[in-house]
Amino acid sequence: MEKIGKRINCTSTKIKRVVDNLDSLKQIENISGTNGFILVYIDKSKNDVYQKDIEREFGITRSTASNIISLMEKKNLIVREKVDGDLRLKKLTLTDTAKNYTHALLNDLENFEKKLTKDISKEELEMFVSVLNKIENNLRKD
């Protein structure tokens, strides 16, 4: 039987390659698929979004999130805004430039999701997500 870690890694690499080459991402200079996912996450969030939300949602470390956010600021995609009552917190807000791209990004990402799940039943998909969640939990225990 093939090793699951290797399969996940190969699949992840293929997914990253396809997402990084989405048409909507090519419209924005030097933007990665991860940046696109973050822009859509911020845009669709019903609540204010902070760095800790990005860390939790995307399973990344504090330093990685900080680096990504700093680069996205330099690309004029997001701004960090002060929050009344807590000087440590900075709310992440999309710039007008980013807002102009989020609809196309969302559309491309939804189409990509359909491509990923083509020919997979709802039950299979639920089981797969359940298994991925268990794998993630196993990795957290170490």
What would the pLDDT profile of 97-117 be if each residue is shown by its tens digit? 899 889 899 999 999 999 999
The token duo for 89 is 């917190």
Q: What pLDDT sits at residue 52?
A: 94
Q: What pLDDT sits at residue 94?
A: 96
* Domain 4-140 CATH (choose: 1.10.10.10, 1.10.420.10, 1.10.1040.50, 3.40.718.10): 1.10.10.10
Q: What are phi and psi of 95, to 5 degrees?
A: -80, 165
| Predicted confidence band of residue 142 (pLDDT cuts 50, 70, 90) | low
What would the pLDDT profile of 17-52 be if each residue is shown by its tens digit? 999 888 888 877 778 888 999 999 999 999 999 999
Rounded-to-integer distance, Cα 41 and Cα 106, Å: 9
